[in-house]
Structure 1
Amino acid sequence: MIERDNEALSSGIAGQEPGTRGRGRLRDVSRSLPIALLRTREAVMRQFRPALRSVDLTEQQWRVLRALDSVPEIDATGLAMATFLLPPSLSRILRDLEKRHLISRRPDPADLRAWVISLTPEGRTFIDAAGVPIETIYTELTERIGKERLDTLMQLLRDIEQDLNAASTDEDDGAPEEPAE
């Protein structure tokens, strides 16, 4: 039933041509950029979830560990922005990763109300081990998609993000919206 409904949404509704809409105001959902990006994200994440489950990590926990792996330390606000996690979710994730001894938190000497977060030596070892199957998946994806296409896609995504950020005149509060699990 759901597959049939999704197929109807992708191919047009009730006999309409794909990409058109009877009322004319909104494009068909099959031509929605946010929906297309979400569908693609889901297809990509389906490749990685088994590897993450095998090391008992959620997608969000992996994002946090990967972000921490790229810096010596970072404050919670910077980490939330880097991982596109809302602060309440990040707090829970940090608590769980700290219990596993993968990260450490200490008060920020410049602002004792804030925390500075970093990977522990155990966290670095964990990332190195977990990274092996993740990199294998990247290799398989590159073979399936093609290196040139993947490089082009990554460049296009960076360019579009930069263009949209530069052109943004919204009164956005800058808070990331957390992607669905």
Structure 2
Amino acid sequence: MAIPRPSLTLTLLQAREATMAFFRPALNEHDLTEQQWRVIRILRQQGELESHQLAQQACILKPSMTGVLGRLERDGLVRRWKAPQDQRRVFVALTEKGQQSFVAMSEGMERNYLKIQQQFGEEKMQQLLGLLNELKNIKP
């Protein structure tokens, strides 16, 4: 019987869970889900985006993105609007409150990154990020 090779996808998920353990308490403290934080962070980095671009970058399926954006909009953190020339295109941006939310959380998030980096090492962290960026660009 052949011995199965180590699972890349399972190992990536386990590594994600190990790192998210550093960030979940801060998210809970601010009443944000992981998906909501990803949306806020991406909009802070990129500025306004079409909802389908945001869903792709945040790795959130479009049906789930509708609910995430609905809750963020209800809480005053994002605003959505349809393009006047094409009602099918929906744009999303952070509100001032959303910008403030990011700023309020960023110091604590940075502390968590530093904790991970202290345990893992700065050089290995840079190497890992480089490898993961290469990996995410491979095509089936």
Whole-Å separation in 2 of the counterparts to 1:138 and 1:82: 21
C-alpha displacement at 1:70, in angstroms?
Answer: 1.3
Which blocks of at least 5 consecutive residues in structure 1 are unaligned?
1-21, 169-181
Deviation above 2 Å: which 4+ runs of structure 1? none
* 2:8 alignment partner in structure 1: 33
Aligned pair 1:125/2:100, yes or no?
A: yes
Pairs aligned (count): 140
Find the residue that maps to 2:54 and give its secondary structure: helix
Structure 2-normalised TM-score? 0.95
Which blocks of at least 5 consecutive residues in structure 2 are unaligned?
none
Whole-Å separation in 2 of the counterparts to 1:153 and 1:110: 43
C-alpha displacement at 1:89, in angstroms?
Answer: 0.7
Amino acid at match of 1:68: L
**Greater helix fraction, Structure 1 or Structure 2:** 2
Per-residue CA distance 1:26-54 (angstroms, 9 max, x = gap): 615xx111111111111111111001101
Which of 32, 37, 54 is the aligned partner of 1:62?
37
Moved more, 125-134 or 109-118: 109-118
Aligned pair 1:113/2:88, yes or no?
A: yes
C-alpha displacement at 1:123, in angstroms?
Answer: 0.6
Higher relative contact order (CA 8 A, sep 6+): 2
Which of 130, 133, 140 is the aligned partner of 1:158?
133
Percent identity of equivalent pairs = 35
Which of 136, 147, 152 is the aligned partner of 2:122?
147
Per-residue CA distance 1:38-83 (angstroms, 9 max, x = gap): 1111111111100110100000100111111112211111011010
Aligned pair 1:134/2:109, yes or no?
A: yes
* 1:103 alignment partner in structure 2: 78
Find the residue that maps to 1:155 and give its secondary structure: helix
Alignment of 1:10-21 (within 5 A): none
Whole-Å separation in 2 of the counterparts to 1:156 and 1:110: 41
Which of 45, 50, 72 is the aligned partner of 1:75?
50
Whole-Å separation in 2 of the counterparts to 1:59 and 1:72: 19
C-alpha displacement at 1:113, in angstroms?
Answer: 2.0
